[in-house]
Amino acid sequence: MEIQIAIAKVDRYSSPEQGDQVEMVERPNGGVSVILGEGKLNGNRSKFVARKAVHKVLSLILEGIHDGAASRAVLSALKTEYHNQAELSLNVLSCDLETETLVLTKNNDLPVIMIRKNEGSYTSYEGRDEVNPLQPNVYQFPIENDFIIIMFSDGVATAGWELSQPIEWNSLMETVLDEQELTVQELADQVLNQAIAQDLGQPHDDMAVVVMQVGRSTGKPIRRMSLTLPL
């Protein structure tokens, strides 16, 4: 089997202030993690808060800390450092070869699309822990062929809301199920382009889409990474 990951991202239309940060790292005991963070400071978008938090989660994962513990530590530190004036929406998606599981960690109510055995479903937030409100939800699934997970930022989830034309998630799910011959990058691009279209080509917020797919290996065990960065 092999893991394929694709990221598609676009900034908010005509705005220098951003709030999304996406990073990817190989896990110390095998596998890979993608961290998606959206930061706010005093109610305003903050790339600095997002970047600092995401990099700290990344650093803790590299030290061998489990995703849930790493997320809780960073969320707690953020609360203390900024005296409750900073917010972070955090998603961590991992293929952990040590436990042979896919691990999803999130502290928000954004839906995550999962495709398994040609069936689609959503995973969302199960509610805050009243005792520990910084407790993120952690989901684990066995690694298996033809497993696709799609997570995205708030800008994608709320695309079209201001124009009363939100994304129809069931329709999007059907599209993903019908077009599984797409590459992971084509799939990420398709979801992002759909969100941009809902905002009539002018994204009202930063948008990021992450796709992770477990599939059958089709060639030599070569690791590949690519990046396209508009200037």
Q: What is the pLDDT of residues 86-104, one digit of tens each?
A: 899 999 999 999 999 999 9
List the domain range (segments joined by +) for residue 201: 2-215
- Residue 211's pLDDT band, with cuts at 50, 70 and 90, is very high
Residue 38 is predicted with a pLDDT of 93
State which amino acid sits at residue 47.
Answer: K
| 92 beta partners | 35, 105
Predicted confidence (pLDDT) at residue 35 exceeds the cutoff of 90: yes
Element of type H or E holding 34: strand 31-41
Angle of helix 184-198 relative to helix 169-178, nearest 10 degrees? 150
Indicate the number of domains in the chain.
Answer: 1
The tokens describing 202, both together, are: 């002018």
Mean pLDDT of the chain: 87
Q: Which helix (H) or strand (E) holds 58?
A: helix 47-62
pLDDT of amino acid 131: 54
The confidence score (pLDDT) of residue 116 equals 87
Position 109 in a domain: yes
Mean pLDDT of 58-69: 95
Collapsing DSSP to helix, strand or coil, 138 comes out as: strand
In a domain, 224, yes or no: no
Is 108 a member of any domain?
Answer: yes
Asked if the model's pLDDT at residue 140 lies above 60, the reply is yes
Q: Give the CATH number of the domain where residue 131 resides.
A: 3.60.40.10
- What is the tens place of the pLDDT at every residue in 151-194? 999 999 999 988 888 888 888 888 778 876 788 999 999 999 99
Q: Is residue 19 part of a domain?
A: yes
The answer to whether position 223 is within a domain reads no
Sheet holding 2-10, edge to edge: 2-10, 207-215, 147-152, 112-116, 119-123
Distance of CA 223 to the CA centre of its chain: 21
Is 230 among the domain residues? Answer: no
Q: What is the pLDDT of residue 170?
A: 82
3-state secondary structure 145-187: CCEEEEEECHHHHCCCHHHCCCCCHHHHHHHHHHCCCCCHHHH
pLDDT of the residue at 70: 96
Most confidently predicted of 41-45, 98-102, 124-128: 98-102
Given a cut of 80, whether residue 14 has pLDDT beyond it is no
In whole angstroms, what is the distance from residue 168 CA to residue 159 CA? 10
* pLDDT score, position 120: 83
What mean pLDDT do residues 58-76 have? 95
Instruction: Decide if 74 contacts 90 (C-beta within 8 A).
Output: yes
Q: Tell me how far apart the terminal alpha carbons of the chain are, to the nearest angstrom.
A: 35
Does 176 fall in a domain? yes
Confidence (pTM): 0.90
Q: Which pLDDT score is estimated for 128?
A: 53
pLDDT reported for residue 21: 92
129 confidence band (pLDDT: 50, 70, 90)? low
Residue 165 lies in a domain: yes
Task: Classify the C-alpha dihedral 79-102-125-177 as positive or negative.
Answer: positive
